[in-house]
């Protein structure tokens, strides 16, 4: 198989197709992740009128947090499967869960369910959707890192694919505005017409998964996995020994039994955990935050929803989207460790300033701080936590390590999803922002444990160069690629 040729056809056609298929999946992830924060206020008007059109903090957090719980399961499960059975055998299966889970959410019974039943139905099937979107993280990132290098570096390819997630987030806000405008007269006449808005908004999230499903299922194996000497494969006749789940976990235990490897996995996992506390504390609660800064309220339910949607577009277009696309180039310019260190500190500073002026600044000024903090968060920490787990570990454990790191992040997201309502009620937005500022400082501290991977090839990563003090492989024999003989390794002190 020609290097990087994951799809049949010409190199150019295959590469464009790869970007659209891999990026399209993450686009859907960003879209579905964003929509629930927009949908929960609508559910309040429709199903919680007796509670002043607002679900309780526990109910709201349950609907939002269930998606993150599903993502934890999906990231761990699909990441380990990808290492055990190969990327091509696993990729695409996550789309089936996304399609099924989202479809069941949209088919929430129109009548007959209690408020508890509504919360339970949405939570269960949002968790199923989350399993699919969670599985996309380790699979797409790993395959992108092992794909033929495009645009001059591995990081640019991985992060170009990842940037589609921010595009999906922006699209969700735009679609929300379009649907609100389309149903305005109906909603103002009868608030129950909001049913069509939230169901269509979420239902459209099925489209990216459905479009990319077939191509993902047909994807061929990546060359690094296919040629990895530590991974046994079936022969063409199907009679050879194949790698299984037991073998994969044995390799995982052996590799991470060394402290230098385990320490780095802890750093990528704990750093992502802390980062997601701050990231999802903001993104899952943008409607609440916009209302608190005076941008998400209105005289009628329609006006409130519309203003919230416009606020989301402003923040996404001015902060998240440009930050994510600038982040494509930053790791190769600044280095991964420097980027996550200084951008985390800058984001913490902006959160602290925002907390300090929350009660005195104008709505416009607070929106500027909101957008700026989203910009710095996305061009630095966001891209680094996604990129580093596939650059720091060899092929036989790469997807599993990324899955563990991403799942740790989503544990942080679950924590903030279930706790934000209580924190906001107890401490207010100022207290929450102060907490997030402290968390981002901790992200910067944890980043000091991360090796630098700037300029390293996939072969050097396989050889364990990132753990060398002198820029050459300095690992046990198991970390040496097949092209390095044991005798040469011994001479080099490997």
CATH classification of the domain holding 180: 1.20.1250.20
Q: Is the pLDDT at 257 greater than 80, yes or no?
A: yes
**DSSP assignments along 50-77, one per residue:** GGTT---HHHHHHHHHHHHHHHHHHHHH
> Does residue 482 form part of some domain?
no
| 154 belongs to a structural domain | yes
pLDDT tens, residue by residue, 32-55: 987 887 888 888 888 887 665 677
Give the range of the structural domain holding residue 181, as residue numbers without chain letter.
Answer: 11-224+252-455
Q: Answer whether residue 354 shows pLDDT above 60.
A: yes
**Residue 369: pLDDT over 70:** yes
pLDDT cut 90: percent of the chain above it: 50
Q: What is the structure's pLDDT at 296? A: 66
The number of angstroms, rounded, from the C-alpha of 59 to the middle of its chain's C-alpha atoms is 24
Domains held by the chain: number: 1
Domain assignment present for 282: yes
Digit-coded pLDDT (tens) for 422-431: 777 778 888 8
DSSP assigned state of 320: I
pLDDT of 51 reads: 64
Confirm whether 116 is domain-assigned: yes
Among 46-60, 156-170, 326-340, which stretch is predicted with the lowest mean pLDDT? 46-60
Q: Is residue 6 part of a domain?
A: no
Which residues touch 149 (CB under 8 Å, ≥6 apart)? 4, 157
Give me the mean pLDDT over the 230-257 stretch: 70
Q: Which range has the worst mean pLDDT, 2-11, 301-310, 441-450?
A: 2-11
| Residue pair 223/88 in contact by the 8 Å Cβ criterion | no
pLDDT of 229 higher than 50: yes
In a domain, 66, yes or no: yes
Does any domain span residue 483? no
**Greater pLDDT, 344 or 489:** 344
Contacts of 489 (CB under 8 A, 6+ apart): 473, 477, 480
Closest of 432, 328, 424, 436 to residue 383, by C-alpha: 328
Q: Does residue 235 belong to any structural domain of this protein?
A: no
User: Which of the four pLDDT bands, split at 50, 70 and 90, describes residue 242?
Assistant: low
> Minimal CA–CA distance to 328: which of 379, 252, 274?
379
The yes-or-no verdict on residue 480 having pLDDT over 70 is: no
> Binning pLDDT at 50, 70 and 90, where does residue 494 land?
very low
């Amino acid at each position: 198989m020609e290097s990087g040729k994951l799809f049949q056809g010409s190199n150019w056609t295959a590469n464009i197709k790869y970007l659209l298929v891999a990026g399209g999946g993450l686009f859907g992830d960003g879209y579905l992740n964003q929509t629930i924060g927009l949908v929960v206020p609508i559910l309040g008007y429709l199903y919680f009128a007796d509670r002043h059109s607002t679900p309780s903090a526990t109910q709201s957090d349950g609907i939002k947090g269930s998606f993150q719980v599903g993502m934890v399961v999906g990231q761990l499960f699909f990441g380990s499967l990808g290492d055990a059975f190969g990327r091509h055998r696993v990729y695409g299966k996550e789309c089936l869960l996304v399609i099924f889970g989202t479809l069941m959410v949209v088919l929430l019974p129109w009548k007959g369910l209690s408020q508890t039943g509504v919360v339970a139905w949405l939570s269960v099937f949002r968790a199923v959707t989350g399993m699919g979107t969670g599985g996309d993280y380790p699979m797409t990132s790993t395959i992108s890192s092992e794909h033929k290098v495009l645009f001059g570096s591995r990081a640019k390819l991985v992060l170009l694919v990842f940037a589609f997630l921010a595009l999906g987030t922006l699209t969700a806000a735009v679609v929300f505005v379009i649907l609100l405008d389309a149903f305005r007269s109906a909603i103002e006449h009868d608030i129950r017409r909001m049913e069509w808005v939230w169901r269509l908004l979420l239902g459209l999230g099925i489209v990216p998964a459905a479009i990319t499903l077939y191509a993902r299922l047909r994807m061929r194996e990546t060359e690094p996995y296919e040629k990895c000497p530590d991974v046994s494969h079936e022969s063409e006749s199907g009679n050879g020994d194949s790698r299984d789940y037991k073998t994969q976990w044995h390799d995982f235990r052996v590799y991470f039994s060394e402290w230098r490897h385990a320490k780095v996995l802890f750093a990528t996992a704990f750093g992502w955990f802390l980062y997601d506390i701050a990231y999802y504390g903001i993104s899952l609660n943008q409607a609440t935050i916009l209302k608190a800064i005076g941008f998400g309220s209105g005289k009628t339910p329609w006006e409130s929803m519309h203003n919230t949607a416009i606020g989301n577009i402003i923040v996404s277009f001015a902060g998240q989207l440009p930050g994510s696309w600038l982040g494509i180039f930053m790791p190769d310019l600044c280095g991964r460790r420097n980027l996550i260190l200084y951008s985390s500190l800058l984001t913490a500073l902006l959160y602290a300033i925002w907390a300090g002026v929350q009660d005195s600044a104008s709505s416009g000024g607070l929106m500027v701080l909101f957008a700026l903090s989203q910009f710095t968060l996305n061009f630095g920490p966001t891209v680094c936590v996604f990129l580093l787990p596939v650059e720091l570990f060899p092929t036989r454990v790469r997807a599993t390590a990324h899955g563990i790191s991403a799942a740790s992040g989503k544990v942080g997201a679950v924590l903030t999803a279930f706790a934000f309502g209580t924190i906001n009620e107890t401490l207010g937005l100022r207290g929450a922002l102060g907490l997030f500022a402290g968390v981002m400082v901790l992200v910067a501290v944890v980043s000091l444990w991360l090796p630098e991977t700037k300029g390293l090839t996939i072969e050097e990563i396989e050889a364990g160069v990132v753990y060398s003090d002198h820029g050459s492989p300095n690992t046990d024999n198991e970390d040496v690629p097949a092209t390095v003989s044991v005798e040469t390794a011994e001479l080099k002190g490997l």
